[in-house]
Structure 1
Amino acid sequence: MPMSVGEIAMRARDQLVGLTGLPAGTVSSLAHREDGWHIIVDMIELKRIPESSDILATYEVVLDEKGNLMSYERTQRYYRGQVEGKVQ
């Protein structure tokens, strides 16, 4: 039986947590393409006080049809609440 979209999202997030050691993040995008499932997950990379200075990162995760991790890549780092731009 094929996995549901919710199961794919949770699988991507859980596998990313296992690889990075970062706390579970928010799935912000999910799309099915020819080469598998592409999921965008935002994770907290560095927790600070105040929270507005937390450093977050966006990861793209690719899963195959069975939900197995094929690849992942950090595509962006930014401060919480930052609208545009990247952390250097």
Structure 2
Amino acid sequence: MSNTKNTSDSQPTQQGSQDSQKTQETQESQEPQKSQTSGESRRRPRPMEVLREARAQLAELTGMTAESVSSFEQTEEGWALEVEVLELERVPDTMSLMASYEVELDADGQLTGYRRVRRYERGRSDARRSGGH
């Protein structure tokens, strides 16, 4: 009978040990998920993700179609882009009014500011970039 008693005495200890082991396993399995989640939010977005998101955010804010990105660079604060947008559609298309916007994004790719830096007709060459002539 003492053998039975030892077994019954040890069962709660084993059960308690199993419960604490399950709790520890659950906590350990949750910890990597938490760190993965926080790691994902800290991951810098890829350049193409930034470009797509910047165009979409600028279009939503201004109501104008972003046609192209003419410059793009990573900065200490995040990202800087120059985006060409269609401001006023005209016929013929070469007379449509275009604009360049400087767009700033934070490290996560969220738009933090923009400003129009120039306006021009689509069909006109840009003297500023063609050597000043």
The TM-score with structure 2 as length reference comes to 0.61
Partner of 2:47: 5
Alignment partner of 1:25 is 2:87: no
- 1:63 positional shift: 0.3
The residue matched to 1:12 in structure 2 has which SS?
helix
Partner of 1:61: 103
Bigger strand fraction? 1
Name the amino acid aligned to 1:57: A
Identity within the alignment, %: 40
Q: Which runs of 4+ in 1 moved over 3 A?
A: none
Alignment partner of 1:72 is 2:114: yes
Partner of 1:83: 125
Alignment partner of 1:34 is 2:44: no
Alpha-carbon distance in 1 for matches of 2:47, 2:86: 23
Flag the structure with more relative contact order, 1 or 2, with Cα contacts below 8 A and sequence separation at least 6.
1
Task: Compare 18-27 and 40-49 and name the one that shifted more.
Answer: 18-27
- 1:35 positional shift: 2.4
Name the amino acid aligned to 1:42: E
Unaligned runs of 5+ in 2: 1-42, 128-133
Contact 2:96 2:121 in 1 (8 A): yes
How many residues in Structure 1 have an aligned counterpart in Structure 2? 86
Alpha-carbon distance in 1 for matches of 2:66, 2:72: 16
